[in-house]
Amino acid sequence: MLEDKVHALQSERRLMHNQLQELRGNIRVYARIRPFLPVDGIAECDLKDAEPNVLPISDSALKTVNRLNKTESSFTYDRVFSPSSSQQTVFDEVSELIQSAL
């Protein structure tokens, strides 16, 4: 009897969690900018003025894509992680998605 209640509550929690995830969007796109290396020839990326979910890409960053069009493009993501973001920060953001998949 108690086990049945526990099972019912777990099912209800799982259903509510999945509904919350669906409301946030079934498809999410994240970008994580890796720390720059000396071989990159650039010391840092200026993301301070960018919107939190928009990643501006300048022509210098587009090494093989559309070399004729020398413009800046912006891409919108659900979340953009800066080079200083920790593994824990990224994990905290995606852990609910992992839980939903289980």
**pLDDT tens digits, one per residue of 42-76:** 655 555 545 566 666 655 444 444 556 666 666 77
Which residue do the tokens 């979910």 mark? Answer: 53
pLDDT reported for residue 71: 62
pTM of the entire predicted model = 0.53
What angle, rounded to 10 degrees, do the helices at 2-24 and 87-101 form? 120
CA angle 67, 42, 70 (to 5 degrees): 20
* Domain definitions of the chain by residue range: 28-101
